[in-house]
Structure 1
């Protein structure tokens, strides 16, 4: 069996790099570690951190093909963030003009959660931690 320590990062290719950069940094509040333009690929690579931990690589590529994300398409299902209070997250998102699904409750854990979509319609979940 492999010995894995943790997830190192998640890579996302955006259709509109500047719009996605703004969403992940200004709306979700991730911190920029570094931003690189790779001229040979005509591509940006933005490394983002959450609470000091490297978590997301945001890429731009010219004319990336569309990928279905719903309903239940094969591949990465969603990106989930642990939060203290789902209702407070929804209120903050509404203040920024972002609609969230109604709060649901996980039948197995009893924890609250909701979903939004990023600028490329990738599903993002906010899952309330157990306090």
Structure 2
């Protein structure tokens, strides 16, 4: 890691591949934090997390609504903020393609791309 110019990083976000868990644990600084939105049935050895006193945070965008948490309005604030940032061009979405109209052929095509791993970014089906 020193060859990369750093020993550790403060925060790590794992958005789509928990196969990188061991690398993340190695890279996280003592008392650092890892956040993930990914489901996994892969082993997640926690020994190094304990010795580093690092934290793991799971995020699910529906938790506030599902459990009617006292801070439910924060989801609205977060989504509004993200929408404003996208509209202003400071954030880019992962949208790569729009298939239209919504019909059986386009639905099958979207599924084919996702199932074969040829989809790049998000595919949107729109219009009837």
Which structure carries more helix by proportion? 2
Larger Rg: 2
TM > 0.5 between the two?
no
Structure 2 length-normalised TM = 0.24
- Which structure features the higher share of strand residues? 1
Higher relative contact order (CA 8 A, sep 6+): 1
